[in-house]
Structure 1
Amino acid sequence: MKRRTDYNGNRDGGRSSGRFWWKVGGAAWVIWVAAAGVGRAGLYPEMKPPWTVWVKEGRPVATIVCTPPKSGTNPAEELNGWLKRITGTRLPVRTEPPANGPRVWLGGRGAWRRLQTSADALKLGPDGYVIRSVGDDLVIAGATNLGTLFGVSAFLEHYLGCRWFWPSETGIVVPKTRTLRVGRIDEVSRPDFAIRWIMRDAACARFNRLNVAVNEPDEFRIRWFVHTWCSLVPPARYWKEHPEYYAEAGGRRVDPTRPHVRVNLCTTNPDVVAAAVKTIDEQLAADPSIDMISVDPEDTQQFCDCPNCRKLRDPDAPYPARNTRLVFDFTKRIAERVRRRHPKLLIKTIAYHTYLAPPPFELPDNVVVQFCRFTCHNHFLGDPACPDNRYFNRYALGWSKVCRRIMFYEYYYKASWCGLPWPIVHMLRRDLPYLRQHGVVGVASQWSGNHANNGLGFYVASKLLWNVDLDVDLLLDDFYKKAYAEAAGPMRRYHERLERAMAESGLHVAQQRAFRQMWKLFTPELLRALRSDLAEAKRVVVDPGAAARVRLMENGLRYTELVADYLNTVARFVEKPGSQRWIGSASAVDMKAVAAACEPKVKAIEAFIRSPEGRYATAGLGPYVQRLLDSQTVAQSWYDPGDLARGRTLTKTQWLETHTQRFLKEPPSRAALWVYGNDLDWNRADGPEHRILARGRNGQSVLLGTLARPDRQGNRVNRAFIIRHIELDRLDTNRMVVTIENPPGGPTGSRIFAVYLMPDDQTSEDEATRLIEAEPKTVRRR
């Protein structure tokens, strides 16, 4: 693959002899380093002699030449802020060059005149930069002010040895010297990915050359993050007068203004397209700098059930294609109208769950599809041995046939992993080159401020998003040495032990309820070895900054130990040898005993999360962690890891096309339907969670009943329900089709495991539950 980064034709360069003062453990001494402090020759380009003095014994010698930008961060202030940390002083700043002394040119026309070239000639694009010596002067410039800022941070990182591993002071590493000499440099660089959005701290993200949400006018500006249909057609604005703009369910429009209700739009209504485009017009009028606007369905897989929308839905298709035509038909119509009004604006939409598959038509060239790969992050996308990624890779590759621009929505922090260590560097080093190889233009990721257990992954990803060819081994070597100083050896073992445990586990992580996966990964043996690594690190570390980072990692491990201890307690009740017949079945588990045993463990975890030590070492007490700390939920979900539906080669209705269906006995006039599932609810506000319908003789749906009922519910447990007195002469018994639907209107969900057409006898529902769980062959023979 062609490199996007040119280091003057020599990636490794020659070994330089930059002289630095490096403060360690309160003492300072002169050391000689290659490339002004990088961990090993070859990670970044190196300065070459002759050397120019910028600061001598704490007194400035060089001058910064920079015209302040009209808005955004001043590159001179950015550079001087870091030079103050390094040398204790700042360089003087002028808008016109002084006659004598070395000059540091930062962006603007003067810098380009000094270089005698242009950003276009160097093909920098909006984010690229040049760092080039011209005699004793140094020029740092980009096509934009943000490009110049990226050049400043690259100079600080590549040549002066500064690092910003993660937000907060513990992530910052700065060498100390009273005399600063700078050698000759010639570096031109541009990013491998055009859209880079994986941090939420603007200053740290900008230093690491990410370009979304960095509080700069030249950034790639995205309006809204995800799940935006109701932002485009706001219910507060339209619901009262136009309920027809919102999804229909059960013959009525669902009220999107109710609390905790997720409702999609009626996408085939042309007035809905007009309303969405009107909102986009308003957004652009308020902020013409917007580059891309999100047009994403809400976070529910329930879509409008009106006759026109139903024509674009494919309930018999594999799971990832069931709503593909409906979602991307809407995207296409919006994009076509927007293109005529705002030709430079990009329309972003997500490919996710029931619309993960590409549609059977091309999308306009102003559409960006953001592919959501929500598992597995233990293996890279192109790994043929990983069933999860075989599934995702198949659909991801298919998108290039219908859409010009593809970006990825990633999970470099996975909320359902609940803030535990997420060692994915072994995946990232293969994944990001693979994405670039297949033309992916950008990556956005979920984010967490849990630097202890997620910081290294985000740091490595930020570097690879700029340059996928970066040597990850050298990058990690540099990280261990700069982050941990004297404790580099044991901390290398700590991080590599986590990576190795994840890689060798073979786990496909992480789905929505990954409790058993967590328990299997964080074994007592692994935790003891990690604790030993940290104990040695604490014993040998001297540098105060490195000691603070070791303490941060220890806090992350302490949280992990508390969660592992809690999961071990749950496992004593629910872990069973062999495979389980029914996922979620916990009829033999005493939930009160589980809760009693877990209560002190849960309190200990909550206390740690709320403590100062937990601030940067946990994921807080968000919804996923609250689910983790509900012992009944963990027990019920122990063998139910999540919601990845890979689709089927044949759906039931497709299978029936090639298989003759016949009754083993003469069918009676009446029958009963047994439905066995998990978490089938009923509540006073919304009523039953599901409706059960069958196809009638005239082809129309016939309502058979509901799941659940006021007198029988199945909240968080497996339970059978019986729909009695079904008159078979009303139904199409030649091709029996039963539909169990979850109408839109709320975040609830359930799992259906078995449906049986049975004699209409007096079997109780509790007895049906027992028979299905204990004697399924008996049930099938009745």
Structure 2
Amino acid sequence: MPALSRRTFAQGALLGLSHWLGVCKPADAYHQPGDGVTLVAEGRPVVTLVTPDTPNDSVHYAAVELSWHIEKATGFQPATVTESKVTSTGLGKTHIFLGDTRFARKAGVDFDALGPESCALRTVGRHLCIAGHDTSGSPVDVNTSAGTLFGVYELLDRYFAVRWLWPGELGTFVPKAESVVVPLQDRVVTPRFMQRQVRTGAGLRAKDHPEMGFTAAAAEDYMNAQAAFLRRNRMGRRIPAKYGHAFVDWWRQYGAEHPEWFQLVNGKRGPSRLGGRFSMCISNAGLHEEIVSQWRQHGGDRPGHLPTFVNAVENDVPGQCECDVCKALDGPEPPNYRKFIPSKSKLASKPFVSDRYARSWQAIQQNAAKYNSNAVVVGYAYMNYFAAPTSGVKLGPNIMIGFCPSSWFYPRSGDEQDWMKAQWRGWADTQAKLFMRANYFLDGYCMPHIFSTQFADEFQSAANNGMVGTDFDSLTGHWATQGPNLYLLLRLQIRPEVPASTLLSEYYSAFGPAAADVRKYFDFWEAYTSGGRARLHDTFEALGASRWRSWAKAAHAIYPEESFAPAEELLDRAASSANGDQEASMRVQFLRLGLQHAKLCSLAAAKLTLGNPESRHERGRVELQALLAFRRANERMWISNLNHCAWVESTSWTLPGAAGQSPDPDPE
């Protein structure tokens, strides 16, 4: 049987709808427009939003979101009604049917066939159905399947050109709409990646110095705004993958009875020192059996269609076991491996052990598959098992690996960038499923540390080589200084096929007549960042600072006071260009506040850094007071996640009552 054309399908569906509604007049009520469905005409909405009579929370939220954005685009709020209020006569005008409506079912939407997070977008006569897979739960919870909501965001993205730049109304760019016509269509939209996650940064706050961050009320409002923003960028997941460092407490629980499960180092099992971190004897068959046993105890062996995840992620420490069984599983070290390991890194003295982990995950999966063929073992490509295996091992799709570089922050040399992409491809060659589990966005503090080009290059290379999901640690939220980085971080997870330059043009377009000047401003900082690679390395090493937890030790050295002057001039030009466009002017001012905040942080760091043993709180009292006054005055502008700033500063600066600096653990 030949496939039905869209027009033939629509006509057939409409006959059924006419019977359902008992419609015979007006004659053109179901006329299929030739050019699509008109939602906005002459600057006004010409559509009514329709929800089921008892919509679930996500569908109700979808209607509110669509109404709000249409009002922003036109200045007029469209009517919203429940389906029982729609009369047959009223169907002579255009409607958007949201969620599981009778209209959508009569139009042929098969809700049972829609997978999690999926949405059918279907034009039917002069109407549009946005009908998704919707589950109960908060609409902004990443674990709630909100297909209808995602369909609304797809509509706003593609046909209203809405861009979500940062949390809050100012960060929501909604172009004025004179006319919006949705082309005839019948398609199902599902986010490409099974998980799109950027950890919220909610836990990144200074316990000892809360005064450095948000006030409590502002913190709550910020996190609420950020949650809505992340959902607008369609962060979420359709498979409930659970993983993380799996064996943190195992020595205390099992060390006495089963020391053989733990690393053998210098002839001793377990931690090398009391309370120290430890890796596992990852090849041990008894360890494999216990991992699977605990997975079964939590219901992992129950039959079902969805994958069930076996957590085999090593502890946050290099793989160190020296036993003969582990060593026998190792592949040869790659010829260029040491070239890319920093000489003073904790990995420099450690062996290359990727193959032992790959083969052990494979053995664990084979064990679990005896009880459930859908069992998926999760591990990390991390530490000294980050580089791709060399033994030719083939793992298959029931092994899922989080690609988690423990270092190699941006900017990189060209050789480093190529090597990093090669490691991803090497893991992809094992035929495992890969997700990007990177710590890159913990870098940069609140400084204008711009690496958008290299990040996009690596992300899109991964997307073209088997990436199935993401999990970024973490969203530090420095929207006014790192906007291009963060925009690409979120936008690429929905549009990975679009060139980065095109996506950045979307971002800059929100600045209206100042777009070109704002692009030059961020180009200046990206050149400054990429040109400072050696300075970053040498300074952080000299000051004993880390690129994620104690960045503020080095802020004044990487971004000295004089570095801000050229950027301030560029933003002055942008402000002049935006003059006369109120919204664009406000967004340029947002960037200026971010730069001012970064400069104040640099000035405070110069007096308070723990990288200088002579630093005293009294030396930086004036600078610190100026910084805190600025934060209190501007905390609700959302220029930065101030709690993240406080988290970094609490281990970077000498503050009232602060203890001395302590070594930085690795990000988990």
TM-score over 0.5 for the pair = yes
Distance, in Å, in 2 between the alignment partners of 1:547 and 1:293 is 51
Residue aligning to 2:22: none
Summarize the Cα distance change of 1:547–1:235 in structure 2 as closer, same or farther, 3 Å threshold: farther
Q: Secondary structure at the match of 1:469?
A: coil
Aligned match of 1:135 in 125, 143, 147? 125
Q: Name the one with the larger strand percent.
A: 1
Instruction: Note the C-alpha offset of 1:137.
Output: 0.3
Percent identical across equivalent pairs? 19
1:620 is aligned to 2:644: yes
Q: Deviations over 1:53-76 (max 9, x none)?
A: 679999986241547677855544
Residue aligning to 1:280: 295
Summarize the Cα distance change of 1:207–1:276 in structure 2 as closer, same or farther, 3 Å threshold: same
1:274 corresponds to which letter in structure 2? E
Residue aligning to 2:167: 167
TM norm structure 2: 0.68
Distance, in Å, in 2 between the alignment partners of 1:605 and 1:507 is 31
Q: Secondary structure at the match of 2:467?
A: coil
* Alpha-carbon contact 1:370-1:406 (below 8 Å) kept: yes
- Rg larger in 1 or in 2? 1
1:407 is aligned to 2:445: no
Instruction: Note the C-alpha offset of 1:155.
Output: 0.9
* Alpha-carbon contact 2:381-2:403 (below 8 Å) kept: yes
* Alpha-carbon contact 1:239-1:255 (below 8 Å) kept: no
1:198 is aligned to 2:222: no
Q: Secondary structure at the match of 1:92?
A: strand
1:209 is aligned to 2:228: no
Instruction: Note the C-alpha offset of 1:83.
Output: 4.7
* Alpha-carbon contact 1:48-1:183 (below 8 Å) kept: no
1:533 is aligned to 2:570: yes
Distance, in Å, in 2 between the alignment partners of 1:598 and 1:158 is 54
Residue aligning to 2:81: 92
Distance, in Å, in 2 between the alignment partners of 1:533 and 1:97 is 54
Distance, in Å, in 1 between the alignment partners of 2:313 and 2:295 is 13
* Alpha-carbon contact 1:351-1:369 (below 8 Å) kept: yes
1:331-730 correspondence to structure 2 within 5 Å: 331-359=361-389, 360=391, 361-374=393-406, 376=408, 378=410, 386-415=414-443, 417-447=444-474, 448-482=476-510, 484-485=511-512, 487-505=514-532, 513=546, 522=559, 526-538=563-575, 540=578, 546=584, 549-565=587-603, 592-593=613-614, 599=620, 603=624, 607=628, 611=632, 613=634, 616-617=639-640, 620-621=644-645, 624-629=648-653
Instruction: Note the C-alpha offset of 1:92.
Output: 0.4
Summarize the Cα distance change of 1:422–1:186 in structure 2 as closer, same or farther, 3 Å threshold: farther
Summarize the Cα distance change of 1:592–1:298 in structure 2 as closer, same or farther, 3 Å threshold: closer
Residue aligning to 2:185: 186
Distance, in Å, in 1 between the alignment partners of 2:631 and 2:429 is 49
Cα RMSD for the two superposed structures: 4.8
Instruction: Note the C-alpha offset of 1:396.
Output: 2.4
1:41-60 correspondence to structure 2 within 5 Å: 52=38
* Alpha-carbon contact 1:375-1:508 (below 8 Å) kept: no
Instruction: Note the C-alpha offset of 1:136.
Output: 1.0
Q: Name the one with the larger helix percent.
A: 2
Distance, in Å, in 1 between the alignment partners of 2:277 and 2:627 is 29
Summarize the Cα distance change of 1:52–1:394 in structure 2 as closer, same or farther, 3 Å threshold: closer
Residue aligning to 2:340: none
Unaligned runs of 5+ in 1: 1-7, 9-46, 213-218, 575-590, 632-678, 680-714, 717-745, 749-782
Distance, in Å, in 1 between the alignment partners of 2:556 and 2:409 is 17
The structure whose RCO (Cα within 8 Å, separation 6+) is larger is 2
Summarize the Cα distance change of 1:73–1:558 in structure 2 as closer, same or farther, 3 Å threshold: same
Residue aligning to 1:229: 247
Distance, in Å, in 2 between the alignment partners of 1:431 and 1:547 is 33
1:103 is aligned to 2:95: yes
Aligned match of 2:357 in 327, 346, 358? 327
1:145-156 correspondence to structure 2 within 5 Å: 146-156=146-156
Distance, in Å, in 2 between the alignment partners of 1:68 and 1:338 is 42
Q: Deviations over 1:709-763 (max 9, x none)?
A: xxxxxx99xxxxxxxxxxxxxxxxxxxxxxxxxxxxx969xxxxxxxxxxxxxxx
Distance, in Å, in 2 between the alignment partners of 1:62 and 1:566 is 54
Q: Deviations over 1:371-410 (max 9, x none)?
A: 2245556468xxxx62322432343222233233222223
* Alpha-carbon contact 1:55-1:181 (below 8 Å) kept: yes
Q: Secondary structure at the match of 1:397?
A: helix
Q: Deviations over 1:566-617 (max 9, x none)?
A: 677899x99xxxxxxxxxxxxxxxx655669975588469747964646642
2:231 corresponds to which letter in structure 1? R
Distance, in Å, in 2 between the alignment partners of 1:187 and 1:113 is 14
1:91 corresponds to which letter in structure 2? T
Q: Secondary structure at the match of 1:495?
A: helix
Residue aligning to 1:42: none
Instruction: Note the C-alpha offset of 1:351.
Output: 0.9
